[in-house]
Structure 1
């Protein structure tokens, strides 16, 4: 196992049109394994199982399976099928962790904090993510042209979907474009005119936590996508439509977004009145 082969594999992922976030995640996982293997004599399934056990002791099951997916993908690429290992079996969750669930009130506090800091771009970015359910990597599709027709065509992971933009959001974004003298193209840009990337969005959101009084562990772009999913489903009760809006191939993926907190789950159990 050597670095040139890892590089070739990552280039192959790019040709498969895997997302930049996925490629970066796989790169980290494979680099970690590469350094671990540097101390070992040979690569075989026993070594990979040993590594899997080490990962299991250090990381959450979902993180372990992500690392194993990266390894198995690389082994298939190299035709090393004998090294393939099985992912961990995950029990289907029935409720979400309250510590990680961003509430509507907390989201509103984040927007208010951005407004108080006079960071109009970040305020509008938060509102765009929350009101459309798009990924941070899809922000580039929010353009002046998309806002003018109130819909954005998103092309990602080999799939194309069209999302509609709320009228109130469009009015705010058109005003913002005029103020920033953005006549066409992407709306969310750095001071130097470069599109904001996922890491920059993540970092800017984290900087709001103290002023908003929100736990930093809850504040990241994908949690706004989860917030959109929960609020949309509470309003419409249409999981198939929600799956289309989020760009999910399976409603099983969408179902994960709709998990209520353990606290809500306990209240639901209490309402059953099954204790005599």
Structure 2
């Protein structure tokens, strides 16, 4: 059994690119740290899970890494070798020490401007203005910008994201300067879609200049900021779930969604 074969197995089951990347990385780490055989026994998986806890990883992080190894066990035809995930009591509150505020978000934008990190600036604005996951950034294409909407496919579900006009104007200017006429808007120097690790590093590089704690600066926190902003305007959890891709039902009130996007755009870009 090889990691390449595991990736092919995940691809055949239409796992997202981000999930395949993370699962491959976590499984590789598991074998590196445990020295387990190609078809690992359950005890080896359970011991690794417990060692992660002992090293101070959060329950959510441990379970996310364990899911990768358990998926590998399914691929190997060894479901009996899967270890149980840790039980997690869901919190009904957000840790204020880790939540990014609107003022801190604007300080990050200003830091990006001052340092000349134009691409990072646009990535921050795109994530915060749409609420998409960082793994979904590749769906923001030149075609989507022209249509003012993007079709997002993630975790077996499809949803449509309306792009704020101010964001589209900025992305259009970026595409013109970078000679991007089709495909993803955000690319590396080699012409590949920007990956989450690069985005994470570029965001962290802004912290000192912006005067924002590093523990608050990561892509998913921009999704949280979008959610808090939207709920502050709409007070509608059902509509928010649809926009974030948590709902199994598509939004039906397009006019209402356009109004919401305009309102959020004013908050995010003011």
Among residues 194, 197, 218, which one is paired with 1:196 in the alignment?
194
Among residues 121, 128, 131, which one is paired with 1:130 in the alignment?
128
**Residue 204 of structure 1, CA deviation:** 1.5
Among residues 39, 45, 49, which one is paired with 2:46 in the alignment?
49
How many residue pairs align between the two structures? 247
Among residues 88, 110, 113, which one is paired with 1:112 in the alignment?
110
What are the residue-to-residue correspondences of 1:24-103 with 2, within 5 Å? 24-38=21-35, 44-58=41-55, 59-103=57-101
**Residue 55 of structure 1, CA deviation:** 2.5
Within 2, Cα distance between the matches of 1:184 and 1:65?
A: 38
Within 1, Cα distance between the matches of 2:45 and 2:192?
A: 42
Q: Which runs of 5+ in 2 are unaligned?
A: 250-270
Matched, 1:22 2:2: no
Within 2, Cα distance between the matches of 1:19 and 1:107?
A: 28
Q: In 2 relative to 1, CA 7–99 (structure 1 residues): closer, same or farther, beyond 3 Å?
A: same
Within 1, Cα distance between the matches of 2:193 and 2:45?
A: 40
**Cα deviation per residue 1:26-84 (whole Å; 9 max; x = unaligned)?**
223322332344379x9544444333322321222112212322222222333323323
Larger radius of gyration: 1
Within 1, Cα distance between the matches of 2:88 and 2:248?
A: 18
Q: In 2 relative to 1, CA 152–202 (structure 1 residues): closer, same or farther, beyond 3 Å?
A: same
**Residue 230 of structure 1, CA deviation:** 1.1
Q: State the secondary structure of the residue aligned to 1:230.
A: helix
Q: Which runs of 5+ in 1 are unaligned?
A: 252-276
Report if the CA contact (8 A) 1:143-1:187 is conserved: yes
**Residue 193 of structure 1, CA deviation:** 4.2
Structure 2 equivalent of residue 12 of structure 1 = 9
Structure 2 equivalent of residue 268 of structure 1 = none
| TM-score normalised over the length of structure 1 | 0.79
Q: In 2 relative to 1, CA 45–181 (structure 1 residues): closer, same or farther, beyond 3 Å?
A: closer
Report if the CA contact (8 A) 1:113-1:211 is conserved: yes
Q: In 2 relative to 1, CA 129–35 (structure 1 residues): closer, same or farther, beyond 3 Å?
A: closer
Q: State the secondary structure of the residue aligned to 1:203.
A: helix
**Cα deviation per residue 1:187-231 (whole Å; 9 max; x = unaligned)?**
223445443222222222121111111112211211111110111
Q: State the secondary structure of the residue aligned to 1:91.
A: coil
Within 2, Cα distance between the matches of 1:234 and 1:194?
A: 36
After the TM superposition, which of the residue ranges 217-226 and 136-145 deviates more from structure 2? 136-145
What are the residue-to-residue correspondences of 1:178-217 with 2, within 5 Å? 178-191=176-189, 193-217=191-215
Report if the CA contact (8 A) 1:37-1:43 is conserved: no
**Residue 103 of structure 1, CA deviation:** 0.9
Q: State the secondary structure of the residue aligned to 1:31.
A: helix
Runs of 4+ more than 6 Å apart? none
Within 1, Cα distance between the matches of 2:206 and 2:43?
A: 46
Q: State the secondary structure of the residue aligned to 2:160.
A: strand
Q: State the secondary structure of the residue aligned to 2:83.
A: coil
